[in-house]
Amino acid sequence: MATPSLAFTRENITPTKAKRLIDQTRASGFRQRPVSQAVVKKYAHSIATGLWQPDTGDTIKLALRDDVEIVLDAQHRLEAVIASNQAQTFWIVRYVEETMFRYFDQGQPRDLSDMLAICDWPEPKVLSSAGRMLWKEDTTGSPFIKPDADEMLTDGEISEHLEINYRVPLVAYFNAHNNALRMAQSKRRGAKAWMLYLFFRLSKVDAAKADDALAYLADSALPLPHTSWVRAMEYVDKVRESFEREGGGRILKGRNVDQMEETVRAYRAAWEVSLRGARGGLTLPALKREMARMAGRAWDTLA
């Protein structure tokens, strides 16, 4: 008997239908890769909040095994329909040869940086990292806290969030301060993305003071905005040296995230002290106390 040609339909998949397809697949003996509950929760959040886009061209791929439809590709999407308890429209392709599963998901997924590059953002790797910190802050109140699974967005949804809320001001700030950000990074004051996030935020409070502080991090021959910035730089140096010793001359991947948080917190503490106009030298212990005091506050509470 000839294999039927591929058939494409656009259908509303209910939780009941999604469960039936999954159950049929498991009963058939066709083995899927292990389900990632984190991915299911992310997709379920998109479905439940109406953010899911059904017409991207992605399909639910079904094959026939003993005249029963089985799922070759889309188990996470179907599990998300069940988890959200909400029907969702998908494109379905039927009569896919079962052996074709070997060729699915062979490409490199597009990440947030790729999406910003397609949308013609400058230096997308830098702006995607800074943008992700802004999105985390918008979602959790802190650039360091990962949203709960039921608040997670796909990179496509984060890209849309940044496009709507930050593209114009963030790109304008980056273009105006790119040289200072580059120089600060070259002097090991912090990565461009971290500095971009922080000073973009601080500029909304006092643009002149933020510019003075960033300029000083880029070139310490310029006038010192406040002694707190010297102490913050000393602290950042100590943190980086400690992590480099631990990694045998390089900063390990997990520690890179820790260094980012320590660096941004230290400069934020320096900002708080200098903005209050505190007089005299700020010691490293005093800076650490300021950082600890800030840790108990909502991150977006800028003085």
Do 237 and 208 share a structural domain?
A: yes
Do 116 and 175 share a structural domain?
A: yes
What mean pLDDT comes out for the span 44-49? Answer: 92
- What is the pLDDT, as a whole number, of residue 174? 98
By DSSP bridging, strand 59-65 and strand 88-94 are parallel
Q: Is residue 264 part of a domain?
A: yes
What mean pLDDT comes out for the span 24-53? Answer: 89
The pTM of the full predicted model, rounded to 2 decimals, is 0.73
Closest CA to 282 of 222, 236, 243, 231: 231
Q: What total of structural domains would you count in the chain?
A: 2
Closest CA to 144 of 278, 263, 51: 263
Inform me whether the pLDDT recorded for 19 exceeds 50: yes
Do 152 and 95 share a structural domain?
A: no
Do 256 and 121 share a structural domain?
A: yes
Do 150 and 12 share a structural domain?
A: no
Domain hosting residue 22, numbered range: 7-103
Q: Is residue 121 part of a domain?
A: yes
CATH code, 24: 3.90.1530
Is residue 115 within 8 Å of residue 159, measured between CB atoms? yes
Q: Tens of pLDDT along 116-142?
A: 998 899 999 999 999 999 999 999 888
Residue ending a domain, choose from 70, 103, 136: 103
Do 229 and 88 share a structural domain?
A: no
Do 120 and 80 share a structural domain?
A: no
Q: Is residue 156 part of a domain?
A: yes
Do 262 and 152 share a structural domain?
A: yes
Torsion of CA 181, 185, 189, 195, to 10 degrees: 40
Spatial separation of the C-alpha atoms in residues 263 and 243, rounded to whole Å = 12
Q: Averaging pLDDT over each range in 52-56, 131-135, 152-156, which range is the top one? A: 131-135
Distances (CA, A) of 97 to 9, 61, 64, 72: 17, 10, 8, 9
